Chain A
Amino acid sequence: MNLKELYQEIILEHGKNPKNLGKTENFNKDAKGNNPLCGDNVHVYLKLNDKKIIEDISFEGSGCAISMASASIMTDLVKGKNLTIAKEIIEDFLGMIKEKEELNTKNLNDDEKTKLMCLSGVKQYPMRVKCATLSWHTLVSAFENKKTEVNTEN
């Protein structure tokens, strides 16, 4: 186990000053997520335009450094991307956080990959994986405009 790997500077920075925090104006899709064991919660808002591009995205919520940083990095990375690519990134991330060593996606530049990879430290902390994945599952749910809350326990 390695706390330094879990709490890297990038995570702490994103955790403290999350990007895209708030409520997107004129959002047309949103969803809520909740981690009942921890009490973490997140609400993802996005504006998907006619060309299926995520024009804007934001989130509201509260939680630990890992969940806040994860939501911040996620919104940062998918903003401006088209839906198909965003879904690919999500799948890649969720795979990486569970088992894979590396990211496969060709849709992120090295800088973006580094940002995402710094969340991989959470792999060694099974109880904390949910903190990292909550916002991502919620984003998937927002694409579908699901009204039921994402619940990490189900």
Chain B
Amino acid sequence: MNISQIKKEFPIFDEKIHNNDLVYLDSANSSQKPIAVIDRINDFYSKQFSNVGRSVHYLSVAATNLYENTRISVQKYINAKDKNEIVFTKGATEALNLVANTLGQKYLQEGDEILITELEHHSNYVPWHFLRKSKNIKINFAEINEDGDVPLENIEKALTPRTKVIAITHLSNVTGAILPIKEITDLAHSKGIIVVIDGCQSAPHLKLDMQDLDCDFYAISCHKMYGPTGLGILYGKKKWLDELPPYQGGGGMIKEVKKDRISYGDLPNKYEAGTMATAQVIAFDQSIKFLENIGIDKIMLHEKELIEYGQELLRKNNSVKLIGNPKNKGGVLSFIVEGIHPHDIATILDEDGIAIRAGHHCCQILHDKLGIAASARASVGIYNTKDDFDKLNNSINNCKKIFNLK
């Protein structure tokens, strides 16, 4: 695979950052966009724009078809059984809120329990917390082990007879741990527990197969998947999406509206109230094509090699302490440097054109558990190379020099 060729598809890399080439190691936060996706948005607005699903004129019909085409591409890409199992949202955050809210409306009772993990992003905790407040639902946390991983046993241990939902990340955005979703789903289903997966970090980097994973819900963030911002995907098993109530009310999601009664539309319209992120959905088709053209197997191989290289390099750097050492690790390297706060590191690295993230990465529970307020995180995408990690390491050494550390 020719990375330099692939990198050329991303115009951002023509930019200079403080007079340096951009070393983008913040893809877990959001990925950069290939030209095909950028052009598609421009083209759609320039030549094809109309609102979808509302009118019978030419442009509207064409736009509706394009919009629905992406739904089918997503269905195929994640191997969902039915295209109506794909719901577009404004992000993974909205997808997770949709699930928590609608399960809360119809399925969960006071005293029921939800199991999440200490790894969860705030997006997969706060929506459940709303139910803790409104419905007296209890939230339990499956603990991480010393590797920053959550093995199956830790999930099993944390289950109680009242656990109704397990809501967990597929790939931790801090430790990089890849959780055994299939095994967790098997276990959960044997006890009649619903499984909700936060797939934000896995979707751009792992092979996705909903029928194989068998989870009930799976949330995806398109902007981390070489796609536009303002777009997410909720996969939900049809039986659930049919059974659960709508999340938001408005145009597009109704069947019949009378003064005394309203009936709701069928899937997928039921969960897509109002004018959706049309251009983004249509452009996201190009993101999927981009991923498919390279091939997920090659992407996984490249990123695995990269992260192993980066891990080795930083391990040898004696002031760097890596966070988490999970058996199965995705493209995320979080670390701290003895004696330098992550924000100072991020500022100094930025001067060299290196973009990383510093902070708690929306995982305060995890950072509390680790006993640190913040960490630095380098995360990879398809455009990264080993050279990027060499530059990262050199720049970390420069931090040490500025801070007069050995």
A37 to B359, CA, bound (A): 7
Of listed B343, B359, B364, residue having the most chain A CB within 10 A: B343
Chain B residues contacting A37 (CB-CB under 8 Å) are 359
Q: Are B344 and A65 in contact (CB under 8 A)?
A: yes
A6 at interface by CB-CB < 8 Å = yes
Q: Are A40 and B402 in contact (CB under 8 A)?
A: no
- B341-368 interface with A by 8 A CB criterion: 341-344, 347-348, 351, 358-360, 364, 367
Chain A residues contacting B347 (CB-CB under 8 Å) are 3, 6, 125, 127-128
Interface size on A, residues (CB 8 A): 21
Q: Are A62 and B348 in contact (CB under 8 A)?
A: no
A41 to B53, CA, bound (A): 50
B374: contacting residue among A4, A7, A39, CB under 8 A: A39
Chain B residues contacting A66 (CB-CB under 8 Å) are 343-344
Interface size on B, residues (CB 8 A): 20
**Complex: chain B residue closest to A41, CB-CB:** B373
Known: A65-B344, A128-B343, A131-B343. A3 touches B351 (CB 8 A): yes
Chain B residues contacting A127 (CB-CB under 8 Å) are 347
B45 at interface by CB-CB < 8 Å = no
A64 at interface by CB-CB < 8 Å = yes
**Complex: chain B residue closest to A122, CB-CB:** B347
- B68-116 interface with A by 8 A CB criterion: none
**Complex: chain B residue closest to A63, CB-CB:** B341
A48 to B290, CA, bound (A): 64
Chain A residues contacting B358 (CB-CB under 8 Å) are 38
B340 at interface by CB-CB < 8 Å = yes
- A1-41 interface with B by 8 A CB criterion: 1, 3-4, 6-7, 12, 16, 37-41
A39 to B339, CA, bound (A): 17
B18 at interface by CB-CB < 8 Å = yes
Across chains A and B, the number of contacting residue pairs, with CB separation under 8 Å, is 49
Q: Are A38 and B403 in contact (CB under 8 A)?
A: no
B46 at interface by CB-CB < 8 Å = no
CB A119 to nearest CB in B, in angstroms, measures: 14
**Which applies to chain B's interface (DSSP): helix, strand, loop or mixed?**
mixed
B404 at interface by CB-CB < 8 Å = yes
Chain A residues contacting B367 (CB-CB under 8 Å) are 39
A38 to B298, CA, bound (A): 36
B402: contacting residue among A1, A3, A41, A62, CB under 8 A: A3
Q: Are A39 and B359 in contact (CB under 8 A)?
A: yes
- B378-406 interface with A by 8 A CB criterion: 402-404
Q: Are A7 and B402 in contact (CB under 8 A)?
A: yes
**Complex: chain B residue closest to A9, CB-CB:** B404
Chain A residues contacting B402 (CB-CB under 8 Å) are 3-4, 7, 12
Chain A residues contacting B373 (CB-CB under 8 Å) are 39-41, 62-63
Of listed A3, A12, A63, residue having the most chain B CB within 10 A: A3
**Complex: chain B residue closest to A4, CB-CB:** B402
Q: Are A64 and B339 in contact (CB under 8 A)?
A: no
A4 to B401, CA, bound (A): 11
Chain B residues contacting A3 (CB-CB under 8 Å) are 347-348, 351, 402
CB A58 to nearest CB in B, in angstroms, measures: 19
Chain B residues contacting A62 (CB-CB under 8 Å) are 373
Q: Are B343 and A16 in contact (CB under 8 A)?
A: no
B351: contacting residue among A1, A12, A39, A131, CB under 8 A: A1
A38 to B342, CA, bound (A): 9
B403: contacting residue among A1, A7, A39, CB under 8 A: A7
A98 to B392, CA, bound (A): 31
Would you list 22 pairs from A and B whose C-beta atoms are within 8 A, ordered by A residue?
A1-B18, A1-B351, A3-B351, A3-B402, A7-B344, A7-B402, A37-B359, A38-B358, A38-B359, A39-B367, A39-B374, A40-B343, A40-B373, A41-B373, A63-B341, A64-B341, A64-B342, A64-B344, A125-B347, A127-B347, A128-B343, A131-B343
Interface residues of B (CB under 8 A from A): 18, 339-344, 347-348, 351, 358-360, 364, 367, 373-374, 402-404
